[in-house]
Amino acid sequence: MTRLSVNINKVATLRNARGGNNPDVIKTALDIERFGAQGITVHPRPDERHIRYDDVRALAPLLSTEFNIEGFPSEDFCLLVEEVRPDQVTLVPDAPAQLTSNHGWDTRKHLSELTEIVSRFHQSGIRTSIFIDALPEMAEHAARTGTERVELYTEPYATAYGVSPQNAIAPFLETAMACKSLGLGLNAGHDLSLQNLAYFANAIPFLDEVSIGHALICDALYLGLQTTVERYLACLNTKTITT
């Protein structure tokens, strides 16, 4: 079964807009777990404009599900991950001031540095995942780093889904099959939603995990957090592909 990891960055963004501790990021994460999600994702950035390094430290001993920390592997980030020792670290090629992730690693160009970072985290017993575009070549070079998983950047799928789900999924399915043949675990994330998630998950039944934040938190404004988490879980459990 594909696991749902909820990215809580947007909850922290709302809290930071007014200061104080409302909404409570820690309580929200624990409630999301209680509502059935199988993981919590955070993406601390250098300016701490949403999740703060201290949030990461506070969350780590309290979570009972998988903890995934994603981010650019700067030295400060790497030290935080080694201190906290989450279940998984997802390496993304974000510039420090980047608004949101908008592309995957060129794993061929950055093979040497990614191999070094993956090895560093393995020494601390942390599973690694590398954020890539849906290109088999990127999966092939990611596998050479020693990483256990890759995460497919799914914004292009989400954008094309409304025009043609079959065409939208095609490069992702091709890359997913390449990952499977290479022995890589497979995650996915970015702009997955209640509208497009079920089709994606059904097309790639060996998908390990999806990480969803922005769309899920937006839906929760209308549906409530518990109902929203349950609906995303239902998308991952459905056996019928709809177009």
Which residues does the annotation mark as catalytic? 43, 70, 190
d(CA 131, CA 122): 17
Give the CB-side neighbour count of residue 232, counting CA atoms within 13 A: 33
Amino acid at 163: V
d(CA 108, CA 166): 28
Residue with tokens 């290479």: 182
- What residues does 94 pair with on adjacent strands? none
Amino acid at 115: T
Q: Are 122 and 128 in contact (CB under 8 A)?
A: yes
Q: At what angle do helices 25-34 and 225-237 cross, to 10 degrees?
A: 40
Structure tokens at 71: 């981010």
Rg (CA), the chain: 17
In this structure, the chain runs to a length of 243
What is the phi-psi region of residue 19: left when phi exceeds 0, alpha when psi lies from -120 to 50, beta otherwise? left
SS3 state at 195 = coil
